[in-house]
Structure 1
Amino acid sequence: MSDTKNLSPVEHIKLASNYLRGTIADGLADELTASIAEDDTQLTKFYGFYQQDDRDIRAERKASKLEPHYQFMLRLRLPAGVVTGEQYLEIDRLAHEYANGTLRLTTRQTFQYHHVAKKHLRPLLQDAYRIGVDARGACGDVNRNVMASAFPEKSAVHTAIHEWSTKISEHLAWKSRAYEEIFLEQKPSGEEDHEPLYGKSYLPRKFKIAIAVPPENDVDVFANDIGLIAIVDDGELIGFNVAIGGGMGTTHGEPATYPRLGTVIGFAPLDQTLETVETLVTIQRDYGDRENRKHARFKYTIDDHGLDFIHEQLAERADIKLETARDYHFDRNGDPLGWQQSDNGAWHLTLFIENGRIADFDDKGLAHHGQYHGRPGYKLMTALRELAKVHKGTIRLTGNHNIVFADVAEADKSAIEDIVEHYGLDDGRETSPLRHASMSCVAFPTCGLAMAESERYLPELVDKLQGVATDAGVGDVPIVIRMTGCPNGCARPFLGEIGFVGKAPGKYNLYLGAAFDGSRLNKLYRENIGEDEILAELTPLIERFAAEREDGEHFGDFVIRTGVIAATTEGRNFHDNVGPAQAA
């Protein structure tokens, strides 16, 4: 571990926090400001929320000599993204009572609240706790929400991986009593607090785990610090191939930072899986960079020390020697829309939620004071609430911003279908191939890191790209499109066959060449361009794709095969040979 004197400021904040308490309780009680202390903003991430302000009115408030319009984004912890109908209805209620009346489905299969006032943080978390949901570790330098595939073909396997996601999530959750004392207002236990796994300084940076069930890679398993690929034999889960070192974040202009996909290092049988996961976490705990947070993710620890070092540590710490990885195959990293039936006869309805924003849109297509745009008159939030009232099974969130009403009996399908038809949830615009395969982060107006629009702009751009594709004759071919307002990678933009990363207001870096199944990164094609240049670049490429495409070929594979862009074979060469044509 790093010498204490060289630790980053955040490391000092954690060490001095008394197991994440800091002065958070005092800040919540201070009614003179809508904010909390700066150091505490690093600690509250561990409780699932970030302090933000409304950037749309930042200048206006500054001119009026008012503090920024501080409010909070709060994210729940929801292993595998599974809730009951009753839980969903309460989560919906909390959005109206304590937030801005909308919900955001995240790319890690959970719910996110926006515009939560400081005074509402405690009651929101208390009400969530009463329905069996918390926000412990939804953010912060610990293991985040554990993802799991929403679409395995075998129902028994889905049950098993949901159990594994919960088991891993609970095992790796931070244990300090600070959550109970500060937000649930429980009395101190009287015993000395401790963190048996994390220690006083927790992890160097965030840590992410996902479980995929081939042939579906709907969780982008290779984008995680640990990716578990389910191996099924004769319909039974027998263990996992273990991939390590995935992560999307990078920094503009700093080539030492890069996205990386996980590397498969072997197979762990079920009786070795939990110990393998915990041991990998402890390796990162002890060897991750605590001086430079931009170099602190597990991917850099692996690349700095090598895979042999990881195997040596597994053997030394836990006597673990992974078996040879088993064969597997992925077909896609998106979600199949509409009705699907699993082997137990149950039906599952997947509904497309554009960029994950659940809201009711007015006749002009606006929601929450015009901050969110959607189909005019589209009562999406009301519709999902009505579905939750009649649905008898579970509700699953996907890793692609969509929602599944799962375990529907044959006799109950018609009631679900009536609501879907009444509210137009299967409208053609919502399920156009490019739109369905697109995904964005929140960006403006709340994210303090955003350099450009994302959620509020991507639908408009997709309209134009869908028109280009349709005119070219490939309008029915899905192309994975990802957009983020900054390079931190929340919507996994570097796994887009077409990726947009904000560089400045109205300007984006354009990336091409990721794999349709999430197994290859893209690469920078054009830098700092606006919409006119984006369309000028992509229109001829899409037309060429239509004319020269091989049978069943995906766009990401096409641009590499034809020399439009070089393939990124691993994260460390992400910045090599960038640019158009000559990159081949």
Structure 2
Amino acid sequence: MVQTPISNPATPKRKPSKVEGLKERSNFLREPVATELKQDTTHFSEDAIQILKFHGSYQQDNRDNRVKGQEKDYQFMLRTRNPAGYVPPELFVTLDKLAGEYGNQTLRATTRQGFQMHGILKKNLKNAIAAIVKSMGSTLGACGDVNRNVMAPPAPFKNKPEYQYAWEYAENIAQLLTPQTGAYYEVWLDGEKVISAEENPEVVAARQRNGTGTIIHDNPEPIYGTHYMPRKFKCAVTVPGDNSIDLYSQDLTLVVITNDKQELVGFDVFAGGGLGRTHNKEETFARMADEICYVAKDDVYELIKAIVATQRDYSDRSDRRHARLKYLINDWGVDKFRSKVEEYFGKKLAPFQPLPEFKYEDYLGWQEQGDGKLFLGISVENGRIKDEGSLKLRTALREIVTQFNLPIRLTPHHNVIFSDIEPSNKQAIQDILTRCGVQTDPEAINPLVRYSMACPAMPTCGLAITESERIMPSVLKRIETLLEQVGLEKEHFVVRMTGCPNGCARPYLAELGFVGSATESYQVWLGGSSAQTRLAEPYMERMHINDLETQLKPIFAYFKQEKQDGETFGTFCDRVGFDAIREFAEQYESENVADAYSTDDGDGLIEAMADSTIADITEETNGQVVAIASTTTANNKLRRRISLSDDIYLQLREAATNQGKPMTQLANEAIKAYLEAKANG
């Protein structure tokens, strides 16, 4: 039998990427982090940063605080690993305390069911990680080229065994694929290994069991080896019909299969999903997972190892943009991938079993959990847990956890769920939330907000091209206004936004996705499904945020005019196609926007757009210079604009921000008021 990793003789040898060398020289994730942590500096070297990721931290620079000629405002983001989103009460109390002492006074629930803390200084990093580990938490493997946090539906249904199986196997897979190096405890706890829970004996045995090449013998990392994975690896476990985890976006998803007695018999297996991509690099793309096979429960760990080994040994270690499992499956095809997995698995794979249609659930509000107790799902806008204005969410969560010792389940939609609530405590908990301004009725939440997601982006994420979390609330208000204008007041759909193309908020599965492409500009994606079971497509390569109304209103008007009964916005866009949408938009614009410049007195309104970069023609009007321009967009649509001088533009932008209005709307109101005043003498 093969006792070492299978090599790929068919792949020409190419120079490995720089990161591969760093991993090899790191002494299993120890260096240079251990050495540089002891140095009295504000930041780590570029080499150390790459290894630090495996420990669950990213070095960041708060771009809001940059001062020319001075050192960057270095700080660190810490990410926790919480299989199935489980956060014990003692861990939440610790995280909340750390956010106040070392962080930026907020916690952020992630879209992979973990927590992030921002703003930690290097000098406090060790104390923060040590405190997390000692409170039954971990940051090991929350980032880096390893298996990331294993997701599962967060609903704590005690009368639905399939949900309990999903939680159990999410935890077991997390144990199976946790890095085994002692570096984490050596660096952050001076060698003191804190065991929060005993490992499942079946998992321990599976991690060592070999015979088909999945295990690397005489290596501290029996599954990963010296070089770990080529890139990050994302897993999830769900139940038939429940797509709260965005199963098609994962490298590997298991779907629980039970018999008539509700006993676990096995899993359906999906593989090859992934959403990260790079603008203007066609070789990078978002991809949905494929159906691979069915596996009996007794063989599930061996199958997971076989898939991981295939990715470990055959994926591209030269080009990190081409290193995810999705590219291996796309290059090989599902049949070849399945055959290679069978070699590692040691036997033929069983055929995939039929599944019901998947739907999205967010599990908000008060609900029965099936054992006489309650659970409560709380919507957290963009996952940011903070105290701001009348909303004291962080205070409310801290009080509830402290007083009632309740565990939390983080959701894949960056919300939080309290479980195991005694009915007698319901009113007291509700009183705390009401006092702190926290809405618990999901029907009272704006549905555009309820189903939206945005990544943190600016100012701390080093990959962010433009804003996301900070601008999302105003974007949703503008979309709501547009829907009202076209007569779709009750319409809503899934909107997701990211500040770069890596897709952390999974915009490529949204009905309307915004992907940062330049400063204040976004690629627009349309056509995903409300259940996140269909990939969206890029409709517009670059839309400046000030053009949102101009670009989206015709699409919404077309949706209003042609939508079928019960049809969602994403399904409509997918059905009619982009050519039809663009044709309607062009006609809509010519019919609804005045496209003839009035020459009577030089005060005709073409289209009020705050754009200080266009100046093809200028004219003097009452001492003000107004630049008139006709421009052709990427969609070959003629657009006439009024441009403002820089000082007026800045004043308009400030006023729009203060009033919570789009700049275009405010400009229209001002011009209209001026023209009416002039007409009245």
Please report the TM-score for the alignment, with normalisation by the length of structure 1: 0.89
Q: Return 5+ residue gaps in structure 1 as ranges.
A: 362-375, 568-578
Over aligned residue pairs, what C-alpha RMSD do you find?
2.3
Q: Could you say which residue in structure 2 is the equivalent of 1:201?
A: 227
**Shift of residue 97 of structure 1?**
1.9
Q: Among residues 119, 123, 129, which one is paired with 2:127 in the alignment?
A: 123
The 5 Å alignment of 1:441-456 reads 441-456=455-470
Is the contact between residue 152 and residue 216 of structure 1 (CA under 8 Å) also seen in structure 2?
Answer: no
CA contact (8 A) 2:400 2:406 kept: no
Query: What letter is aligned with 1:41?
Result: I
Alignment of 1:25-44 (within 5 A): 25-31=34-40, 33-44=41-52
Rounded Cα–Cα distance in structure 2 between residues aligned with 1:152 and 1:409: 14
224-233 vs 199-208, greater mean Cα deviation: 224-233
1:572 maps to none
CA separation in 2, counterparts of 1:524 and 1:110? 29
- C-alpha distance in 2, partners of 1:320/1:580? 53
- Residues 483/168 of structure 1: CA separation in 2 closer, same or farther (3 Å cut): same
User: What letter is aligned with 2:116?
Assistant: Q
CA deviation after TM superposition for structure 1 residue 473, in Å? 4.2
Show the 5 A alignment for 1:289-438. 289-361=316-388, 376-426=389-439, 431-438=445-452
Partner residue, 2:137: 133
Give the secondary structure class of the aligned counterpart of 1:148.
coil
Give the match for residue 587 of structure 2.
Answer: none
Greater Cα shift, 453-462 or 265-274: 265-274
* Aligned residue type for 1:523: E
Partner of 2:552: 538
In 2, Cα distance between the equivalents of 1:563 and 1:404? 38
CA distance in 1, matches of 2:14, 2:342: 31
Q: Provide the residue aligned with 2:76 in structure 1.
A: 72
- Count of matched residue pairs: 549
Report the Cα distance in structure 1 between the residues aligned to 2:311 and 2:537, rounded to whole angstroms. 27
Q: Write out aligned runs for 1:419-568 (5 A).
A: 419-426=432-439, 431-564=445-578
CA distance 1:216–1:475, shift in 2 (3 Å): farther
Per chain length, whose mean CA-contact separation is higher, i.e. which structure has more relative contact order (CA < 8 Å, sep 6+)?
1
- Paired amino acid for 1:81: G
Greater shift, 206-215 or 537-546, is seen at: 537-546
Aligned-pair CA distance for 1:334: 4.5
Instruction: Sort the Cα spacing of 1:323 and 1:516 in 2 relative to 1 into closer, same or farther, 3 A.
Output: same
- Alignment pair present for 1:8 and 2:17: yes
Is the Cα–Cα contact under 8 Å of residues 365 and 440 in structure 2 kept in the other structure? no
Does residue 150 in structure 1 map to residue 164 in structure 2? no
After TM superposition, the structure 1 stretch with the greater mean CA deviation from structure 2, 307-316 or 257-266, is 307-316
1:145-294 aligned within 5 A = 145-151=149-155, 154-186=159-191, 194-234=220-260, 235-294=262-321
Q: Are residues 346 and 566 of structure 1, via their aligned partners in 2, closer, same or farther at CA, if it must alter by over 3 Å?
A: farther
After superposition, the C-alpha distances for 1:357-412 in whole angstroms (9 at most, x for unaligned) are 11111xxxxxxxxxxxxxx3211110111121234543100001101112223222
- Give the partner amino acid of 2:26: S
Contact 1:19 1:193 (8 Å CA) reproduced: no
Structure 1 position 18 matched with structure 2 position 45:
no
Please name the residue that 2:59 is paired with: 51
1:456-480 superposed Cα distances (whole Å, 9 cap, x missing partner):
0011100111222244443433311
Q: Distance in 2 between matches of 1:473 and 1:331?
A: 30
Structure 1 residues 565 and 165, CA gap change in structure 2 (3 angstroms): farther
Question: How far apart in 2 are the matches of 1:196 and 1:86?
Answer: 32
Q: Which residue of 2 aligns with 1:576?
A: none
CA distance in 2, matches of 1:46, 1:467: 44
Q: Secondary structure at the match of 1:455?
A: coil
Question: Following the alignment from structure 1 to structure 2, what is the Cα–Cα distance between the partners of residues 286 and 69?
Answer: 39
Asked whether the equivalents of residues 391 and 405 of structure 1 are also in contact (C-alpha less than 8 Å), the reply is no
Q: Cα distance, 1:314 vs. partner?
A: 2.5
Asked if 2 retains the 8 angstrom alpha-carbon contact of 1:217 and 1:330, the reply is no
User: Per-residue displacement from partner, 1:234-277 (whole Å, max 9, x unpaired)?
Assistant: 43433221100000011100101101010011211211212111
Return the alpha-carbon distance in structure 1 between the equivalents of residues 295 and 182 of structure 2: 33
Secondary structure at 2:578's aligned position in 1? coil
Q: Percent of aligned positions with the same letter in both sequences?
A: 41
> Which letter does structure 2 place at the counterpart of 1:230?
V
In structure 2, the CA distance between the partners of 1:581 and 1:514, relative to structure 1 (3 Å rule), is: farther
Q: More deviation in 264-273 or 467-476?
A: 467-476
Tell me by how many angstroms 1:440 deviates. Answer: 0.6
8 Å Cα contact 2:244/2:359 also seen in 1? yes
Provide the C-alpha distance between the structure 2 equivalents of 1:424 and 1:332, rounded to a whole number of angstroms: 30
- Counterpart secondary structure, 2:228: coil
CA distance in 2, matches of 1:581, 1:328: 44
The letter for the 1-side match of 2:186 is E
Letter in 1 for 2:27: N
Separation of aligned partners in 1, 2:189 and 2:276: 33
Tell me by how many angstroms 1:150 deviates. Answer: 1.2
Q: List runs of 5+ in structure 2 lacking aligned partners.
A: 1-6, 194-217, 582-633, 638-681
